[in-house]
Amino acid sequence: MPIARGYAATDASLPLTPYTFERREPNDDDVVIAIKYCGICHSDIHQARNEWGGSKYPMVPGHEIAGIVTAVGAKVTKFRVGDRVGVGCFVDSCTTCAARDLDNEQYMPGLVQTYNDVEADGKTPTQGGYSDSIVVKEGYVLSIPENLPLDAAAPLLCAGITLYSPLRHWKAGPGKKVAILGMGGLGHMGVQLAHAMGAHVTVLSQTLSKQEDGLRLGADAYYATSDAETFAKLAGTFDLIICTVSAPIDWNAYLGLLKLEGAMVLVGVPEHPVPVHAFSLIPGRRSLSGSMIGSIRETQEMLDFCGQHGIASEIETISASQINEAYERVLKSDVRYRFVIDMATL
């Protein structure tokens, strides 16, 4: 079995520590990847700390993986040694069920997450990208465009696709007013992607401290949600609001910012339920919805779109020993705008 080195959470309340573990023996349809960079997604923190329940330890988090192919199985046709590749939030899905839908595979029951899950064999734990290597079926490996640096491309594998998919589904584009709620890892990707799709983009952030960055990344307007005036000024404005916030907020107040038939889409995952009043939805035939990452096909489309438009994440590169400190800074919204671990520092 190939040996990997990484960082793992061993309990919800303990810091991550160095961890050595076995990767599975590569099969004919597998790609072996030397991981160069891995982004730190807020979902890593939720799961390392068991905020969603059911966490499995030891857990090597990380699903924003960018690296180089070091070996391919005999049946692999799409990748060669030396290719620049990425791995996102899942490494397997239904391959046999009749309802299999390649454009919606992230919603199928057989999904196998990159970490905190078990492989299709039903027993081997999956372990993620805070490590120096990974073995992945070729159907779940993505190509990273040549013009995007590997470190800044890593966060596209989760933050990028999580915003790209709902922006496409709800048809962000010319003539549409889109608000991105929360200017963090997901949010700063949403600003760039919605702008490149031609939509009018507004950032709704707690304060104006990141306004300059928001406008530079393509926002047309930027408002502080700590200012009550914002809600009066923007009432009935947006076709689409994408909420990336994982803290408890008053969704009713934000639903009031939607136009007739506007949609608010949740991608951030608060720990506790938030009450929604029926009258926040009924008078404007508004909808409240959710969206989860994207299919492999759509993720490749997103990467190619980012390559064409020169879009990548704004990153702060850290060494592996700084992961715990980085978690604390993410929780304080003190990151511009994604931490990426340089695996050479392991």
- 268 scored as a contact of ligand NAP (CB under 6 A): yes
| Angle between helix 296-309 and helix 159-169 axes, rounded to 10 deg | 100
CA 66, chain centre distance (Å): 13
- In angstroms, the Cα distances linking 180 to 139, 150, 187, 194, 267 are 31, 25, 6, 9, 11
162 binds ligand NAP (CB under 6 A): yes
Among 116, 131, 205, 295, binds ligand NAP (CB under 6 A): 205
**Minimum CB distance to ligand NAP smaller for 181 or for 258:** 181
Distance CA 75, CA 72 (A): 8
We find the least distance from the C-beta atom of residue 334 to ligand NAP, in angstroms, to be 9
Owner of token pair 């470190």: 151
Q: Would you give the binding string for Zn ion spanning residues 13-42, x where CB under 5 A is met?
A: ----------------------------x-
CA-closest candidate to residue 47, choices 132, 136, 119, 115: 115
Q: Which residue blocks in the chain are alpha helix, DSSP H?
A: 42-48, 150-153, 159-169, 185-196, 211-216, 228-233, 251-255, 296-309, 323-331
Site string for ligand NAP, 244-263 (x = CB under 6 A): xxxx-x--------------
Closest CA to 188 of 226, 224, 214: 214
Size of interface with Zn ion, in residues (CB under 5 A) = 3
**Contact yes or no for 136/91 (Cβ under 8 A):** yes
User: Parallel, antiparallel, or unpaired: how do β-strands 17-22 and 315-318 relate?
Assistant: unpaired
What phi and psi, each to the nearest 5 degrees, are found at residue 184?
-115, -150
Q: Which is nearer to ligand NAP, 141 or 158 (CB)?
A: 158
**Judged by CB under 6 A, does residue 38 bind ligand NAP?**
no
Tokens of residue 22, six digits? 């076995």
Out of 10, 206, 252, 317, which residue is the one contacting ligand NAP (CB under 6 A)?
206
- Positive or negative torsion for Cα 138, 142, 147, 149: negative
Residue 221 binds ligand NAP, judged by CB under 6 A: no
For residue 43, state whether it binds Zn ion (rule: CB under 5 A): yes
If the CB atoms of residues 4 and 266 are measured against ligand NAP, the closer one turns out to be 266
Closest residue to Zn ion, based on beta-carbon distance: 41
Choose the one of Zn ion, ligand NAP, none that binds residue 201, judging by a C-beta under 5 to 8 angstroms depending on kind.
Answer: none
In the bound state with ligand NAP, the residue whose beta carbon lies nearer, of 7 and 223, is: 223
| Cβ pair 336, 216 in contact under 8 A | no
Query: 92 and 110 in contact (C-beta within 8 Å)?
Result: yes
Given the complex with ligand NAP, which of 281 and 292 has the nearer CB atom? Answer: 292
CB of 144 to ligand NAP, least distance (A): 19
Question: Does position 128 bind ligand NAP by CB under 6 A?
Answer: no
List the Cα angle 92/38/148 in 5-degree steps: 95
Min dist CB 253 to ligand NAP, Å, is 11
Any contact of residue 184 with ligand NAP (CB under 6 A)?
yes
CA nearest neighbour of 217 among 225, 205, 227: 205
Per CB under 6 A, 293 contacts ligand NAP: yes
CA 206 to the chain's CA centroid: 21
As measured in angstroms, the least distance from the Cβ of 243 to ligand NAP is 9
Q: Quick one: what does residue 12 bind among ligand NAP, Zn ion, none, with the CB cut-off 5 to 8 Å set by partner type?
A: none
Residue 166 or 256: which CB sits closer to Zn ion? 166
> What residues line the site for ligand NAP (CB under 6 A)?
41-43, 46, 158, 162, 182-187, 205-206, 210, 244-247, 249, 267-269, 291-293, 330, 333
